[in-house]
Structure 1
């Protein structure tokens, strides 16, 4: 999938932000590929996030290379929903920021 700058976004930036469920995310990067606002990055899970997970989810992460999606540019999200649709693990939801 490729980024499309003509996506009909629903909100101004900063109203809605994607939330990634690290228990489900496998770091495949589909969200990164479809996001027109460059909200996502795929990287190694942070130690504090890793330690919050139970043993089963830690094992799953190891199997999938310890990679997950983070949202360093979440405030740029315009609520197009492409990331939610693209995620094969259904690990992303959109939530109001305030």
Structure 2
């Protein structure tokens, strides 16, 4: 049986957007795998984001390969919440954009 992921979506695109907490994210990609709207990509953390982190968070990122989740397609989010549930580090929250 296949699940209709569109039925799980609660909002039209652009009303809600995911936010990733880089102090928690370990770049495991669970969010990217479950997102039906392809909102996420896993890539090397930007230098500007890395420099904002504390020493322990920088060390943690180095241990985990300097990879984090970014949401370049955040405007496509339909607030299904699958990314929030899938993230083992609880690094993703959904917030209203307007």
Q: Flag whether TM exceeds 0.5 (same fold).
A: yes
Unaligned runs of 5+ in 2: none
Q: In structure 2, how many angstroms separate the alpha carbons of the residues matched to 1:6 and 1:66?
A: 33
State the secondary structure of the residue aligned to 2:8.
Answer: coil
Unaligned runs of 5+ in 1: none
In structure 1, what is the equivalent of residue 36 of structure 2? 36
State the secondary structure of the residue aligned to 2:57.
Answer: helix
User: 1:73 deviation in Å?
Assistant: 0.1
User: After TM superposition, where is structure 1 displaced by more than 2 Å over at least 4 residues in a row?
Assistant: 3-7
Deviations 1:15-72 (A, max 9, x none): 0000000000000000000000000000000000000000000000000000000000
In structure 2, what is the equivalent of residue 62 of structure 1? 62
Q: CA RMSD in A?
A: 1.3
TM-score by length of 2: 0.94
In structure 2, what is the equivalent of residue 95 of structure 1? 95
Q: In structure 1, how many angstroms separate the alpha carbons of the residues matched to 2:16 and 2:80?
A: 10
Map 1:3-82; keep pairs closer than 5 Å.
5-82=5-82
Residues matched between the structures, number: 96
